[in-house]
């Protein structure tokens, strides 16, 4: 499913125009992004939880040259599916 398909599905299920469906999707993604930037979790009961995970600094290896490189610590977004979503997919 592409973003356009998702916008169409939101608009159809919510009885909105495609433009309003796109605004709703953008508002959702912006709100989740802002919350994650602030270090908060976003929990949607039955659907899942968005959170931020810490990845420690580590030493890697360049596959072409074999040279060791330092990979800095980073934060990355995570999603854990809720029980209702897991059950619906099975």
Yes or no: say if 83 and 43 are a contact pair by the CB < 8 Å rule: no
Task: Give dist(CA 66, CA 82) in Å, integer.
Answer: 41
Give domain limits for the chain.
1-40, 42-90
Q: What is the pLDDT of residue 28?
A: 96
Q: How confident is the model at residue 12 (pLDDT cuts 50, 70, 90)?
A: very high
Architecture label for domain 42-90: Irregular (4.10)
- Whole-number Cα distances in Å, 18 to 10, 14, 26, 29, 49: 8, 10, 12, 16, 27
Tens digits of residue pLDDT in 21-78: 999 999 999 999 999 999 999 999 999 999 999 999 999 999 999 999 999 999 999 9
Q: What is the pLDDT of residue 67?
A: 95
Tokens of 77: 């977004």
- Whole-number Cα distances in Å, 33 to 21, 42, 72: 18, 10, 22
């Amino acid at each position: 499913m592409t973003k356009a398909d998702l916008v169409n599905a939101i608009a159809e299920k919510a009885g909105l125009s495609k433009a309003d469906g796109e605004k709703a999707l953008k508002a959702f993604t912006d709100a989740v992004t802002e919350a994650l930037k602030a270090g908060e979790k976003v929990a949607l009961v039955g659907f899942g939880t968005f959170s931020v995970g810490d990845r420690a600094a580590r030493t890697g290896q360049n596959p072409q040259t074999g040279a060791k490189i330092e990979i800095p610590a980073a934060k990355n977004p995570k999603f854990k599916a809720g029980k209702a979503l897991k059950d619906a997919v099975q």
